């Protein structure tokens, strides 16, 4: 309906350019490399993650095995690459879903007093369980596997996004331009669609990048203490936990997954920081 | 003859821009030099440069000498010893100028400590200083949030003058205060200056304050001093075109003739009767308010902060429910209306807010903002809406090219014009304008007020015009309502209320407004002295 | 101030109540008969019945909940069937180790944040700023357990100078020097992310504070930059920093589990890990409840401290 208006003045994106230089670019490259390596895993190594290579017990790094081999003769590099797939799949599934759920709860909380009290208390309860502890509780019921990990990441994201969206919504609704719109007869839905959502989107996007890094942390932490993906299926945290027992024999066994986790978390953090910086710069 | 403080060819550069260039100023002992100019003229930056407190990234060139000693580029420790002890600074926002988590006595004591007053002498000195600015010394143990704005500004003055500086730089010292409080602070400044033989560098945009206090005036514009003159000389015969325009733009409280409006024949646009608004746990925000706005009439709503004028405006357009009393908008009882009926009624209402920075959605273009009311009420085709918006842009004297811009690409005055265009998009019968010009520079304010008057005459809408500035209200309003502490003190024609007020409060209010004329303003001090003597 | 704190109480009580129901429900949600699981693979029917009776599983649900809650409140926590021993004494000894670890980590984090945050906010040298920004980003980005493995690798294998796991054999109190050696690596790991978040928060809010008019007032009155930073501005950001620290409790509790697992530190984290792999549900329940209680109590404590530090709340009663 407002097509003409939109075409007449396409709002320049504040975020544009945040990821083409400096921290943003570095973060993007870090994440991109790991994602590409995960996607291309079958092409990058000749082995499968469960394949036991005869005679290759705890070998050090070499051309054939960049991260060496583990205690049951598997190629660590292959297991790490395939582990990336699991970690990223969980993040890409759970983070947006949790953000959506939390965002809706936050919008709902901003609409009525009762809903606000209810959602706020619910968030309080969830936040009282730190993610790892929550993981333990969920695993106690569901048993180890990918499902509890997804549940925990979603549960950890919902209150974060819920609170973010709630406070941002309340803040935007106090602003004179929203008051002006409401005084001239705009409905709540109009205000929500045209003013609130566009103006809180930036904050949500920054939080998405931050949440992705938190999710990588949760997933690998749960796998690390053995309450995530069931072995022998590979995961970054799982490989790292296995490596703990073999620190003396193959150094790169631990360094490999360690490096990948750090690169992923750091990459998402850098992206979030760059987005945040561009947002601040854009808002004068 | 050597000046006490001499600023020579001062330049201040920020990365990418030049804030101040080639500024020469001299301040003698026992003299008040006012630096006037609009926002962005570089007056505050000049003050910070003198203090050596420019933000990181800014560089200053030229020279600043105190008693012949160069301050620019002096080592930090030497500057620190000059600050407070020789040159002191007081600035605009008393509410944030004090540390919120420390007792005020401690904060003054910190200054004494920094300049070497021994611990055991500090308490007595703090008490003495508080007394000298009219604050009871036992309140030294209170935290800043326990004081009013005027009291805080007094404490800031005590803090600045703690170690007897020779020069006081006062940067907009009364801008954030109500007029009656402003009058008190100006009187205090006059007294302090006389007692301590202070040299004052008074930075302000308020021409009335200049007329009240200054001996000489320097007019700044775009980082340069365009004119320096004796205060009477400047007001009598400004040498430059800019100073002349600046002085002419100042709204005045004198009665001026406006064409008499036809008597309200039809029923009023807005009628409020025995209105009461409560905030739980506090005294009534509004109580016993009865007034009406006739079609095509501009009602000025004046009062100091906390008087309830904004609340009254919000009740009038149905944004706030009264506790009791009736509010009739276009003949309909507001509290009884359903949400959709209210929304339909609001089609006939426009609003303009105070803060030009926040009154437009930062993500919507000027065009989108102006067409918003039309979009909300689904009036006309998109093409028709756009052409209506262009028409409105013409009416508020903005170029059609502005349609595609975002609010941050506009100046404050331009944003208020857009807000006005948006408010007029639906051809409202009632406009609610809440301090529409108080965040604007005088010359911009004058242009916006002229535009407002012109549009009001052309469209004939009724208006509730809320302002703390009596002179502004005097310029636009037919009738004026004076509020104080939630009660209606006085209601009458603008001429009656603002020139021959019938209540003591309104008289105090009117008398507190400094007249932008040094001779007239200073003659008003005389009765003051008689009373105190 | 009392009213300020009283208004916080209902929400915290709700959190405790709802959490206790959830945690209690955990045992009921477990697929299969928990008594059978707990008794082990080849238990006699009598043994299973005994456990069922001990856990109150033969009573109505509401009665079971109240029985369980009463046990928690009176610290009569029952017996562990799988890990072995009384749950009370198991938790008690583990709690001692965890408290030592978390307290030293928090201390390290707070001291580091106070020093580095102030330095970061006050520096006018670009290289110091860049250095601290980089170090801080890393500290926040590197997950606790990843750092744990890295440090274990570095100081245990590459430069074998520090013990990389366990606790002194003679007990913690026998030789403080040895205990400190054992404590060092896990403490650093646990402190780093919390310290990083806190340092960043402190530095950013100090920078915001330094742009406040009262700072200009103080500087213009001749108070030195250093004094304004460490006395005037720092005092202003302490209340909110404390709240941020309180919110980090979750990260510390979760981090402690991971760190204890990495360094074989016999605290709550190790216990919870053993309980979960052994499916020892009563122990898991108690530990979860303990975690929630600690979280809630710390929230209340930080709120109280915040109120004490901010005169606007302490004297105002509102806000």
Widest Cα–Cα separation across chain A: 79
**Partner B, chain A 139-168, Cβ-Cβ below 8 Å:** none
> At which residue do the structure tokens 């409840």 appear?
C289
Confidence of residue B531 (pLDDT cuts 50, 70, 90): very low
Confidence of residue C93 (pLDDT cuts 50, 70, 90): confident
Residue A5, pLDDT > 60, answer no
Print burial letters for A58-77: b (CB count within 10 Å at least 16), e (below 16): bbebeeebbbbbbeeebbbb
Based on its alpha-carbon atoms, the radius of gyration of chain A, rounded to whole angstroms, reads 23
CA torsion sign, A47 to A52 to A54 to A59?
Answer: positive
A4, A178, A185: residue with CB nearest B386? A4
**Partner A, chain B 417-476, Cβ-Cβ below 8 Å:** 419, 422-423, 426, 432
Enter the tokens of residue B292.
Answer: 């009406």
Q: Which residues contact A94 (CB under 8 A, 6 or more apart)?
A: A149, A150, A153, A154, A157, A215
Residues of B in contact with A9 (CB under 8 A): 365-368, 403-406
- What percent of chain C is modeled with pLDDT above 70? 95
Rounded distance between C-alpha atoms, residue B69 and residue B82, angstroms: 11
Rounded distance between C-alpha atoms, residue B309 and residue B353, angstroms: 13
Smallest CA–CA distance from A197 into chain B, residue: B363
Rounded distance between C-alpha atoms, residue A114 and residue A266, angstroms: 39
**Phi, psi angles (nearest 5°) of residue B312:** -60, -40
Picking from A94, A105, A132, the residue whose alpha carbon sits closest to that of residue A212 is A94
> Per this entry, what is the length of chain C?
319
In a domain, residue A2? The reply is no
In a domain, residue A8? The reply is no
Question: With contact defined as beta carbons under 8 Å apart, do A253 and A23 qualify?
Answer: no
Picking from A38, A23, A28, the residue whose alpha carbon sits closest to that of residue A219 is A38
Residue B477, pLDDT > 70, answer yes
DSSP state of C86: B
3-class SS at C34? Answer: helix
- What is the mean predicted confidence (pLDDT) over B484-505? 87
Confidence of residue B262 (pLDDT cuts 50, 70, 90): low
Residues of C in contact with B167 (CB under 8 A): none
Q: Which residues contact C160 (CB under 8 A, 6 or more apart)?
A: none
Residue A116, pLDDT > 70, answer yes
Residue C315, pLDDT > 50, answer yes
Residue B99 to chain C, least CA–CA distance (Å)? 5
Domain extent at residue A200: 17-48+62-283
- What percent of chain C is modeled with pLDDT above 90? 16
Average pLDDT over chain C, rounded to an integer:
84
Q: Do C257 and A136 touch (CB under 8 A)?
A: yes
Picking from B109, B102, B143, B141, the residue whose alpha carbon sits closest to that of residue B123 is B109
Enter the tokens of residue C273.
Answer: 């890990």
Rounded distance between C-alpha atoms, residue B64 and residue B24, angstroms: 9
Picking from B261, B271, B299, the residue whose alpha carbon sits closest to that of residue B492 is B299
Residue C209, pLDDT > 80, answer yes
In a domain, residue A135? The reply is yes
Question: With contact defined as beta carbons under 8 Å apart, do A80 and A68 qualify?
Answer: no
pLDDT digits (tens, 9 = 90+) for C7-32: 778 888 888 899 999 888 876 777 76
pLDDT digits (tens, 9 = 90+) for C152-168: 888 877 787 777 777 77
List residues bridging with B328 in a β-sheet: B271, B333
The total of structural domains in chain A comes to 1
Cis, bond preceding A232 (omega within 30 deg of 0): yes
Among A250-254, B27-31, B254-258, which stretch is predicted with the lowest mean pLDDT?
A: B254-258
Name the strand (E) or helix (H) holding C85.
none
More confident residue, C108 or A50: C108
Enter the tokens of residue B182.
Answer: 């402003």
DSSP state of B398: -
Question: What's residue B282's pLDDT?
Answer: 63
Q: Do B96 and C214 touch (CB under 8 A)?
A: yes
Residue C224, pLDDT > 70, answer yes
Residue C248, pLDDT > 70, answer yes
| Alpha carbon separation from B168 to B2, B73, B129 (Å, rounded) | 18, 21, 16
Question: What's residue A15's pLDDT?
Answer: 52
- What is the mean predicted confidence (pLDDT) over A115-141? 85
Question: What's residue A101's pLDDT?
Answer: 94
One DSSP character per residue, B121-188 reads HHHHHHHHHHHHTT--GGGGGS-GGGS-HHHHHHHHHHHHTTT--SEEEEESTTTTS-HHHHHHHHHH
Confidence of residue A2 (pLDDT cuts 50, 70, 90): very low
Question: With contact defined as beta carbons under 8 Å apart, do C55 and C99 qualify?
Answer: no
Among A12-16, B196-200, C18-22, C230-234, which stretch is predicted with the lowest mean pLDDT?
A: A12-16
Question: What's residue C179's pLDDT?
Answer: 83
Question: What's residue B335's pLDDT?
Answer: 79
**Phi, psi angles (nearest 5°) of residue B177:** -105, 155
Enter the tokens of residue C182.
Answer: 């054992």
How many Cα neighbours within 13 Å face the side chain of B485?
4
Rounded distance between C-alpha atoms, residue C172 and residue C257, angstroms: 19
More confident residue, C155 or C202: C202
- What percent of chain A is modeled with pLDDT above 90? 12
Question: With contact defined as beta carbons under 8 Å apart, do A268 and A205 qualify?
Answer: no
Residues of B in contact with A4 (CB under 8 A): 382-383, 385-386
- What percent of chain B is modeled with pLDDT above 70? 95
CA torsion sign, B409 to B413 to B417 to B423?
Answer: positive
CA B283 to chain centre: 27
In a domain, residue A110? The reply is yes
In a domain, residue A10? The reply is no
Confidence of residue C316 (pLDDT cuts 50, 70, 90): low
- What is the mean predicted confidence (pLDDT) over C57-79? 80
Rounded distance between C-alpha atoms, residue B344 and residue C278, angstroms: 67
∠ CA B259-B261-B267, rounded to 5° = 170
- What is the mean predicted confidence (pLDDT) over A64-88? 86
Please report, for the domain that includes residue A150, its CATH number. Answer: 1.10.3720.10
Enter the tokens of residue A188.
Answer: 């709540």
Neighbours of A195 (CB within 10 A): 23
**Partner B, chain A 26-45, Cβ-Cβ below 8 Å:** none
> At which residue do the structure tokens 């276009």 appear?
B330
Question: With contact defined as beta carbons under 8 Å apart, do C215 and B101 qualify?
Answer: no
Rounded distance between C-alpha atoms, residue C228 and residue C231, angstroms: 6
Question: What's residue A16's pLDDT?
Answer: 57
Q: Do B145 and C232 touch (CB under 8 A)?
A: no
pLDDT digits (tens, 9 = 90+) for A252-278: 788 888 888 889 988 998 888 888 887
Residue C65, pLDDT > 50, answer yes
Question: With contact defined as beta carbons under 8 Å apart, do B270 and B292 qualify?
Answer: yes
**Partner C, chain A 212-231, Cβ-Cβ below 8 Å:** 213, 217, 220-221, 224-227
Q: Do C146 and A225 touch (CB under 8 A)?
A: no
Question: With contact defined as beta carbons under 8 Å apart, do B349 and A184 qualify?
Answer: yes
Rounded distance between C-alpha atoms, residue B84 and residue B109, angstroms: 12
B53, B84, B115: residue with CB nearest C216? B53
CA torsion sign, B493 to B495 to B501 to B506?
Answer: positive
- The set of chains that have 3 or more CB pairs under 8 A with C is A, B
Q: Which residues contact B182 (CB under 8 A, 6 or more apart)?
A: B174, B209, B512, B514
Question: With contact defined as beta carbons under 8 Å apart, do B114 and C223 qualify?
Answer: yes
Question: With contact defined as beta carbons under 8 Å apart, do A101 and A154 qualify?
Answer: yes
Smallest CA–CA distance from B57 into chain C, residue: C124
Q: Do B343 and A187 touch (CB under 8 A)?
A: yes
ipTM computed for the complex: 0.82
**Phi, psi angles (nearest 5°) of residue B134:** 85, 25
In a domain, residue A233? The reply is yes
Question: What's residue B265's pLDDT?
Answer: 61
Q: Do B96 and C213 touch (CB under 8 A)?
A: yes
Question: With contact defined as beta carbons under 8 Å apart, do A103 and A204 qualify?
Answer: yes
Question: What's residue B219's pLDDT?
Answer: 92
Confidence of residue C110 (pLDDT cuts 50, 70, 90): very high
Residues of A in contact with C145 (CB under 8 A): 220-221, 224, 237, 240
Residue A14, pLDDT > 70, answer no
Question: What's residue B54's pLDDT?
Answer: 87
Picking from B182, B470, B495, the residue whose alpha carbon sits closest to that of residue B303 is B470
Residue C199, pLDDT > 60, answer yes
Residues of A in contact with C281 (CB under 8 A): 140
Residue B292, pLDDT > 70, answer yes
Question: What's residue C166's pLDDT?
Answer: 75
Question: With contact defined as beta carbons under 8 Å apart, do B42 and B223 qualify?
Answer: yes
Enter the tokens of residue A136.
Answer: 């333990």
Confidence of residue C116 (pLDDT cuts 50, 70, 90): very high
Q: Do A9 and B404 touch (CB under 8 A)?
A: yes
Q: Do A269 and C276 touch (CB under 8 A)?
A: no
Question: What's residue A7's pLDDT?
Answer: 30
Residue A188 to chain B, least CA–CA distance (Å)? 11
Confidence of residue B111 (pLDDT cuts 50, 70, 90): very high
Q: Do C141 and A262 touch (CB under 8 A)?
A: yes
Residue B224, pLDDT > 60, answer yes
In a domain, residue A277? The reply is yes
Question: What's residue A1's pLDDT?
Answer: 32
Rounded distance between C-alpha atoms, residue B179 and residue B510, angstroms: 9
Q: Which of A245-249, C172-176, C254-258 has the highest mean pLDDT?
A: C254-258
Print burial letters for B416-450: b (CB count within 10 Å at least 16), e (below 16): bbbbbbbbbbbebbbbbbbbbbebbbbbbbbbbbe
Residues of B in contact with A199 (CB under 8 A): 361-363
């Amino acid at each position: 309906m407002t097509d003409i208006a939109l075409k007449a003045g396409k709002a320049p994106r504040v975020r544009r350019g945040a990821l083409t230089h400096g921290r943003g670019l570095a973060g993007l490259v870090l994440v991109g490399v790991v994602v590409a390596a995960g996607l291309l895993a079958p092409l990058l190594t000749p082995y499968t993650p469960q394949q036991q290579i005869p005679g290759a017990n705890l070998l050090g790094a070499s051309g054939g095995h960049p991260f060496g081999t583990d205690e049951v003769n598997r190629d660590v590099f292959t297991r790490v690459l395939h582990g990336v797939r699991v970690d990223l799949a969980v993040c890409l599934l759970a983070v947006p879903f949790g953000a959506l759920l939390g965002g809706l709860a936050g919008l709902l909380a901003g609409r009525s007093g009762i809903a606000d009290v209810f959602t706020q208390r619910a968030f309080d309860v969830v936040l009282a369980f730190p993610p790892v502890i929550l993981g333990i509780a969920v695993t106690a019921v569901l048993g180890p596997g990918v499902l509890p990990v997804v549940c925990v990441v979603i549960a950890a994201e919902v209150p974060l996004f819920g609170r973010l969206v709630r406070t941002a919504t309340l803040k935007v609704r106090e602003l004179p331009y929203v008051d002006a719109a409401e005084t001239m007869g705009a409905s709540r839905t109009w205000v929500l669609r045209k003013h609130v959502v566009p103006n809180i989107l930036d904050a949500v996007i920054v939080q998405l990048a931050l949440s992705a890094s938190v999710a990588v942390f949760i997933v690998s932490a749960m796998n690390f203490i053995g309450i995530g993906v069931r072995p022998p299926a590979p995961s970054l945290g799982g490989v790292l936990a296995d490596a703990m027992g073999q620190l003396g024999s193959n150094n790169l066994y631990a360094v490999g997954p360690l490096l990948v986790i750090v690169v992923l978390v750091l990459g998402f953090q850098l992206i979030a920081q760059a987005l945040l910086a561009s947002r601040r710069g854009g808002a004068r | 003859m050597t000046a006490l403080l001499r600023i020579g060819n001062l330049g201040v550069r920020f990365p990418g821009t030049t804030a101040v260039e080639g500024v020469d100023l001299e301040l003698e002992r026992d003299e008040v030099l006012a630096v006037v100019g609009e926002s962005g003229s570089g007056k505050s930056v000049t003050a910070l440069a003198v203090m050596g407190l420019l933000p990181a990234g800014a560089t200053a060139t030229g020279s600043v000498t105190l008693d012949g000693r160069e301050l620019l580029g002096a080592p930090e420790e030497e500057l620190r010893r000059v600050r407070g002890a020789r040159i002191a600074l007081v600035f605009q926002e008393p509410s944030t100028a004090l540390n919120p988590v420390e007792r005020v006595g401690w904060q003054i004591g910190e200054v004494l400590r920094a300049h070497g007053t021994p611990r055991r002498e500090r308490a007595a000195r703090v008490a003495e200083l508080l007394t000298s600015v009219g604050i009871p010394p036992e309140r030294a143990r209170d935290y800043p949030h326990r004081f009013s704005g005027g009291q805080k500004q007094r404490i800031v003055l005590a803090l600045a003058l703690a170690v007897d500086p020779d020069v006081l730089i006062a940067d907009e010292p009364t801008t954030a205060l109500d007029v009656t409080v402003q009058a008190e602070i100006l009187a205090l400044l006059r007294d302090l200056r006389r007692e301590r033989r202070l040299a004052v560098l008074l930075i302000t945009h308020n021409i009335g304050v200049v007329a009240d206090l200054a001996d000489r005036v320097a007019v700044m514009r775009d980082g340069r001093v365009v004119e320096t003159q004796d205060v009477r000389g400047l007001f009598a015969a400004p040498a430059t075109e800019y100073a002349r325009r600046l002085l002419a733009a100042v709204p005045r409280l004198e009665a001026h003739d406006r064409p008499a409006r036809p008597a309200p024949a039809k029923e009023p646009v807005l009628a409020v009767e025995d209105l009461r608004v409560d905030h739980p746990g506090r005294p009534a925000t509004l109580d016993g308010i009865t007034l009406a706005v006739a079609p095509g009439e501009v009602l000025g709503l004046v009062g100091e902060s906390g008087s309830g004028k904004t609340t009254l405006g919000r009740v009038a357009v149905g944004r706030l429910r009264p506790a009791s009393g009736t509010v009739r908008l276009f003949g309909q009882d507001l509290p009884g209306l359903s949400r959709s009926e209210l929304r339909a009624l609001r089609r006939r209402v426009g609003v303009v807010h105070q803060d030009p920075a926040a009154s437009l959605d930062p993500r919507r273009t000027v065009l989108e903002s102006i067409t918003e009311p039309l979009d909300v009420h689904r009036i006309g085709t998109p093409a028709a809406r756009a052409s209506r918006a262009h028409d409105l842009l013409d009416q508020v004297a903005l170029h059609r090219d502005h349609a595609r811009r975002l609010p941050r690409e506009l100046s404050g005055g331009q944003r208020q014009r857009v807000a006005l265009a948006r408010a007029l998009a639906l051809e409202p019968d009632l406009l609610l304008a809440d301090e529409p010009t108080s965040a604007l520079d005088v010359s911009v304010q004058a242009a916006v007020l002229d535009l407002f008057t012109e549009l009001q005459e052309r469209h004939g809408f009724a208006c509730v015009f809320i302002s703390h500035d009596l002179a502004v209200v005097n310029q636009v309003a037919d009738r004026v309502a004076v509020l104080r502490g939630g009660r209606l003190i006085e209601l009458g024609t603008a001429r009656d209320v603002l020139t021959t007020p019938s209540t003591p409060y309104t008289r105090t209010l009117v008398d507190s407004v400094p007249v932008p004329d040094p001779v007239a303003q200073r003659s008003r001090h005389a009765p003051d002295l008689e009373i105190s003597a | 101030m009392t009213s300020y704190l009283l208004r916080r109480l209902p929400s915290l009580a709700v959190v405790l109540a709802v959490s206790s129901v959830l945690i209690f429900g955990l045992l009921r949600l477990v697929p299969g008969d928990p008594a059978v699981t707990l008794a082990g693979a080849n238990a006699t029917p009598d043994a299973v019945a005994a456990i069922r009776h001990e856990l109150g599983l033969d009573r109505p649900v509401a009665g079971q909940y109240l029985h369980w809650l009463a046990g928690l409140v009176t610290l009569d926590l029952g017996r562990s069937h799988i890990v072995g021993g009384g749950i009370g004494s198991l938790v008690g000894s583990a709690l001692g180790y965890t408290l030592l670890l978390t307290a030293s980590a928090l201390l390290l984090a707070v001291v580091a944040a106070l020093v580095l945050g102030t330095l970061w906010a006050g520096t006018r040298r670009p290289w110091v700023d860049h250095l601290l920004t980089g170090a801080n980003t890393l500290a926040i980005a590197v997950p606790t357990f990843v750092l744990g493995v890295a440090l274990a690798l570095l100081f245990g294998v590459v430069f074998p100078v520090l013990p990389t796991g366990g606790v002194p054999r003679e007990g913690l109190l026998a030789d403080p020097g040895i205990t400190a050696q054992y404590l060092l690596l896990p403490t650093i790991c646990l402190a780093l992310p919390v310290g990083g978040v806190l340092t960043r928060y402190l530095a950013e809010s100090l920078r915001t504070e330094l742009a406040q008019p009262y700072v200009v007032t103080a500087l213009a009155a001749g108070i030195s930059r250093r004094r304004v930073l460490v006395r005037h501005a720092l005092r202003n950001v302490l209340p909110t920093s404390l709240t941020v620290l309180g919110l980090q409790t979750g990260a510390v509790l979760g981090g402690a589990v991971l760190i204890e697992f990495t360094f074989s530190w016999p605290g709550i984290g190790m216990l919870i890990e053993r309980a979960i792999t052994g499916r020892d549900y009563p122990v898991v329940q108690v530990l979860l409840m303990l975690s929630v209680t600690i979280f809630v109590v710390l929230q209340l404590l930080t709120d109280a401290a915040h109120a004490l530090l901010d005169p606007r709340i302490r004297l105002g009663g509102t806000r």
